[in-house]
A and B are shown apart, each in its own frame.
Chain A
Amino acid sequence: DQQVKQNSPSLSVQEGRISILNCDYTNSMFDYFLWYKKYPAEGPTFLISISSIKDKNEDGRFTVFLNKSAKHLSLHIVPSQPGDSAVYFCAAASGGSYIPTFGRGTSLIVHP
């Protein structure tokens, strides 16, 4: 059973608009959440994170929102740029194991 779910395998957005990538989790022990970005033929790179004591974390064009009651987090990219086209992985970890559990990824395509 998947503990971290990214239900949208792909998302297509126009340049300059907002991209919203969603992630749901089932394990209430998760207390740290991460987003990674992956380009083809490269390893993932860390993008942004949020701990369970916060509900929002912002870094430039990237903002992650956490709704603990709904066990849902989302990554907002504003404005979207063609260079943002990549696969985005959501991941979650707990203080007990620190082994992150990854979602299946969402492929974002930003059209010029």
Chain B
Amino acid sequence: EAQVTQNPRYLITVTGKKLTVTCSQNMNHEYMSWYRQDPGLGLRQIYYSMNVEVTDKGDVPEGYKVSRKEKRNFPLILESPSPNQTSLYFCASSPDRTSYNEQFFGPGTRLTVL
């Protein structure tokens, strides 16, 4: 089954404690991205990757890092989380950056930073 998986699904942490949210896809997609969804703001793209070792900033990259060492994985790293990063995070993948109709989203990770 084609899917994008994220872990953990829920996380409560404290300010400053480094964390990583993993994302994995099994469709051999080249393009992967991370979004955050906040009440009243819709989804905003954090980072994207067009292929292995190729990453770039989206609209709201501050406070986040990503890596793309393998095609299937695209972890989101918060080196020093702050309360304003409390949000619902989605990972997505697609064959390329313009294949919106073939884009798959993960189920989401709800992060709370105290």
* B-chain residues with CB within 8 Å of residue A98 when the two chains form the complex: 97-98
Residue A43 at the B interface, CB < 8 A? yes
The residues of B with any CB-CB pair to A shorter than 8 Å are 4, 40-45, 48, 58-59, 90, 92, 97-98, 100-108
B101–A89 touching, CB < 8 Å = no
The yes or no answer to A72 lying at the interface (CB within 8 A) is no
Q: In the docked arrangement, what's the CA distance between A45 and B102, Å?
A: 9
- Say how far A91's CB is from chain B's closest CB, in angstroms: 8
Q: Are the C-beta atoms of A104 and B41 separated by less than 8 Å?
A: yes
Chain B interface secondary structure, helix, strand, loop or mixed? mixed
Q: Assuming the A-B contacts A43-B4, A43-B90, A98-B98, are A104 and B105 also in contact, with contact meaning beta carbons closer than 8 angstroms in the complex?
A: no
A9 to chain B, nearest CB (A): 9
The answer for the CA separation of A6 and B58 in the assembled complex, in Å, is: 22
**Complex contacts, B102 vs chain A, CB 8 Å:** 46
Give the interface centre of A43, A89, A99 by most chain B CB atoms within 10 Å.
A43
Closest chain-B Cβ to A45's Cβ sits at a distance in Å of 7
Tell me whether A42 and B100 are in contact (CB under 8 A): no
